[in-house]
């Protein structure tokens, strides 16, 4: 059956006259309606696990802007919690988790088969969304990539240079690899359950891929993405996968071929003309406007948006930011970006 949803067409390799568009963190604190629903839920994690309200915040940017895709509202750190880590968020600071630095810590984690007990509300959010989304809107599910998730599980928080995770990798490689394996297996089952519930595309967020160099990039960014993609393709050959090895630099080249993903999401440190030549040659790309334009706006926002659309116009492209929109963004700038993409 031929696809009518624009994002699925781009992911199938079609070059469209106007790229479909969605935005990382499109449901988020820059929107007053998001802040109101989060207050109603109590806090961020309660919002993630409240299926009705999580579906509501997922729908808010679709109602306001008519994006071509909705991304499930959840977080990459729910999987560690489902695997048995403690997770909480400190307002204004970010996530905190119990740390994993020894075999004893690792042995306290539960088996992959137990994750669904915690994650069932997320699958229910997906089911609600498939009922309530407009017929033309694609529903994207997601998970963190094993390396990025591991950096949080090892350090117990976000770190500027992922130092603790690199240290564990270098000092106790067997334990580090056992942790990566557990996350990889959990991610496969988590994404499969999202697909079973109705996700039409899945995206793997490797936010800290850029700190892996040389052979480490191949082993801990490429290989887990390849394993997850292969496992999903074995069960769901028709479900497209988007990979996001953020700040991978030259390692973006060949990423799609090596992992089997259908689309590579680009961060905004990548020059669009360079990526059109070296990355889009292998298939669909997504990106890559700097999210700072959503704060600063003006003519630069319009010019840069048009330049990116033009640079990628020769192949399949999904317009997006290079990273998530920030809380200080102006909602009107989002509309200006959409108008510039759609030529309104």
d(Cα 332, Cα 330) in Å, to the nearest integer? 5
Quick one: CA dihedral 167, 172, 177, 183, positive or negative?
negative
Cβ of residue 264: shortest distance to ligand CP3, in angstroms? 15
7, 54, 69, 76: residue in contact with ligand CP3 (rule CB under 6 A): 76
216 part of the active site = no
Six token digits for residue 46? 């309660």
Calpha distance 246→101 (Å, rounded): 25
321 by DSSP, 3-state: which?
Answer: strand
Give the nearer residue to ligand CP3 in terms of CB position, either 28 or 311.
28
Catalytic residue among 75, 206, 262, 282: 75
**Residue in the structure block whose two tokens are 């990889």:** 184
Query: In the bound complex, what is the minimum distance in angstroms from residue 283's beta carbon to ligand CP3?
Result: 22
To the query of whether residue 29 is one of the catalytic residues in this protein, the response is yes
Of 57, 105, 51, whose CA–CA distance to 78 is shortest? 51
Distance in angstroms (rounded) separating the CA atoms of residues 306 and 7: 19
| Strand 94-97, strand 87-90: pairing | antiparallel
Our separate counts of H helices and E strands in the chain read 17, 9
Which of the residues 49, 152, 190, 220 is marked catalytic? 152
- Residue 311 contacts residue 256 (beta carbons within 8 Å): no
User: Please, which residue, 205 or 276, has the CB nearer to ligand CP3?
Assistant: 205
56 binds ligand CP3 (CB under 6 A): no
Binding residue for ligand CP3, selected from 254, 297, 324, 331, defined by CB under 6 A: 324
- Which span (74-82, 170-178, 209-217, 309-317) binds ligand CP3, by CB under 6 A? 74-82
Q: Is the dihedral of CA 189, 213, 252, 340 positive or negative?
A: positive
Q: Which residues, numbered 21-40, are part of the site for ligand CP3 (CB under 6 A)?
A: 24-29, 38
Is 210 one of the binding residues for ligand CP3 (CB under 6 A)? no
The question of whether 75 is a catalytic residue gets the answer: yes
Nearer to ligand CP3, 77 or 221 (CB): 77
Which residue's CB is nearer to ligand CP3, number 92 or number 214?
92
The single residue listed with the structure tokens 């334990």 is: 175
| 306 in catalytic set | no
Q: How many residues bind ligand CP3 (CB under 6 A)?
A: 21
Using CA atoms, how far apart are residues 87 and 153, in angstroms rounded to an integer? 9
SS3 246: coil
The nearest distance, CB 153 to ligand CP3, in angstroms, is 12
- Per CB under 6 A, the list member of 68, 75, 185, 267 interacting with ligand CP3 is 75
| Residues 84-143 close enough to bind ligand CP3 by CB under 6 A | 94-95, 142
Measured N-to-C along each axis, helices 173-197 and 163-171 cross at an angle, to the nearest 10 degrees, of 120
- Specify the length of the chain in residues: 344
Q: Is 246 labeled as catalytic in the residue annotation?
A: no
Nearer to ligand CP3, 142 or 276 (CB): 142
Query: Which positions are catalytic?
Result: 25, 29, 38, 75, 152
Residues near ligand CP3, by CB under 6 A:
24-29, 38, 44, 71, 73-77, 94-95, 142, 158, 205, 207, 324
């Amino acid at each position: 059956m031929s696809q009518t949803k624009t994002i699925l067409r781009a992911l199938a390799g079609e070059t469209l006259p106007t790229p479909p568009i969605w935005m990382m963190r499109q449901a988020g604190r820059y929107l007053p309606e998001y802040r109101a629903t989060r207050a109603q839920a109590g806090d961020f994690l309660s919002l993630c696990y409240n299926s009705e309200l999580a579906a509501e915040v997922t729908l808010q940017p679709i109602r306001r802007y008519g994006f071509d895709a909705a991304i499930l509202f959840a977080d990459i750190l729910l999987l560690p919690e489902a695997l048995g880590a403690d997770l909480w968020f400190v307002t204004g600071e970010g996530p905190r988790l119990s740390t994993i630095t020894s075999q004893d810590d690792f042995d306290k984690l539960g088996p992959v088969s137990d994750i669904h007990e915690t994650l069932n509300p997320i699958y229910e959010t997906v089911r609600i969304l498939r009922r309530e989304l407009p017929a033309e809107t694609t529903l994207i599910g997601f998970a963190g990539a094993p390396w990025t998730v591991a950096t949080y599980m090892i350090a117990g928080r976000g770190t500027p240079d992922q130092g603790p995770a690199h240290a564990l990798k270098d000092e106790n490689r067997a334990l580090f690899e056992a942790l990566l394996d557990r996350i990889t297996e959990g991610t496969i089952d988590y994404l499969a359950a999202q697909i079973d519930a109705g996700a039409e595309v899945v995206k793997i967020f490797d936010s800290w891929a850029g700190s892996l160099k040389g052979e480490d990039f191949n082993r801990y960014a490429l290989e887990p993405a390849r394993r997850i993609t292969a496992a999903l393709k074995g069960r769901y050959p028709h479900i497209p996968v988007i990979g996001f090895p953020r700040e991978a630099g030259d390692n973006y080249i060949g990423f799609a071929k090596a992992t089997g993903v259908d689309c590579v999401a680009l961060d905004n440190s990548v020059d669009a003309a360079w990526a059109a030549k070296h990355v889009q040659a292998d298939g669909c790309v997504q990106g890559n406007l700097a999210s700072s334009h959503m704060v600063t706006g003006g003519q630069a926002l319009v010019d840069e948006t048009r330049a990116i659309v033009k640079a990628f116009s020769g192949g399949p492209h999904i317009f997006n930011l290079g990273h998530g929109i920030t809380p200080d963004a102006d909602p009107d700038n989002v509309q200006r970006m959409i108008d510039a993409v759609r030529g309104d």
